[in-house]
Amino acid sequence: MFEKRALTKKEQEIVRKIFPGSSEEDLEDIIGAPDSKRLQGWQAEVWFNSELEKVFNPSPVGGEPGYSWKSKPDRIGFRYDIEWIGDFFIDYFGNIEVKSTDNPNQCNINVHRWNKEPTLYVAVVLVQNNEFSLLGWKYGYEVYECEVVGEFSHPASFYKLVKFRSPELFKHKLLKVAQLHKQIIKEKQKKK
């Protein structure tokens, strides 16, 4: 889980399905970001989803414990139908926002976007030489403790995230939750 690797052909096809390009509808989400950075962000999200699939069962709301991905290709439009913050929701864990960076020392998060939809966790994916790896993570509240670059109220201002928590710790937390999910499913099956 979360091993450094390039996207597979299947993952690249998924990115092509969900990458919004320069659609007017998505401009609010990406204030000031060039298409190449936006594409990198979608690629990181697809990579992260594939890594979660290795240990979790995708689960519709109200189903067995698992996780949900907001931007899953067959759910396009879903993210706008209900209030759901973050990119992923894992039962008994919480919301995760996935951000990408090509700088191993820093990741920028748009202030306006973050303040509008803060999440419980921020997972930072490092993208270098077309390979993806989990750089680290932060609790959502830690974002507010980061330096703000630019005018706080300006749409292009950003939180400058540095000094990430260990990717191994995040992986360990997720593996423990995945074990809990399996245990709950097993207990439900015994009762049937």
pLDDT of 25 higher than 60 = no
Please answer whether residues 83 and 110 qualify as being in contact, where contact means their C-beta atoms are separated by less than 8 angstroms: no
Asked if residue 1 is part of any domain, the answer here is: no
For residues 66 and 5, the model is more confident at: 5
What's the gap between Cα 23 and its chain centre? 21
Position 35 pLDDT exceeds 70: no
Length of the chain: 192
Residue 78's pLDDT is 44
Sheet bearing 121-128, strands edge to edge: 67-69, 88-90, 94-101, 121-128, 131-139
* Predicted confidence band of residue 190 (pLDDT cuts 50, 70, 90): confident
Q: Phi, psi at residue 66, to the nearest 5°?
A: 180, -145
SS (H, E, C) the chain: CCCCECCCHHHHHHHHHHCCCCCHHHHHHHCCCCHHHHHHHHHHHHHHHHHHHCCCCECCCCCCCCEEECCCHHHCCHHHHCCCCCCEEECCCEEEEEEEECCCCCEEEEHHHHHHCCCCEEEEEEEECCEEEEEEEEEHHHHCCCEEECCCCCCCCEEEECCCECHHHHHHHHHHHHHHHHHHHHHHHHHC
- The pLDDT assigned to 79 comes to 40
- Has residue 4 been placed in a domain? no
Domain around 154: 9-191
Q: How many domains does the chain have?
A: 1
Say if residues 109 and 137 touch (Cβ distance below 8 Å): no
Residue 77, C-beta contacts closer than 8 angstroms, at least 6 positions apart:
none
In a domain, 107, yes or no: yes
Give the percent of the chain with pLDDT over 90: 61
How does the average pLDDT of the chain come out, rounded?
A: 86
Of 66-80, 98-112, 165-179, the range with the lowest mean pLDDT is 66-80
pLDDT at site 30:
44
Average pLDDT (120-136) is 97
pLDDT per residue as tens digits for the range 165-185:
999 999 999 999 999 999 998
Predicted TM-score (pTM) of this structure:
0.86
Q: How confident is the model at residue 76 (pLDDT cuts 50, 70, 90)?
A: very low
The pLDDT, as a whole number, for residue 154 is 84
- The pLDDT assigned to 21 comes to 60
Of 116 and 74, more confident: 116
**pLDDT value, residue 119:** 94
Identify whether 160 is part of a domain: yes
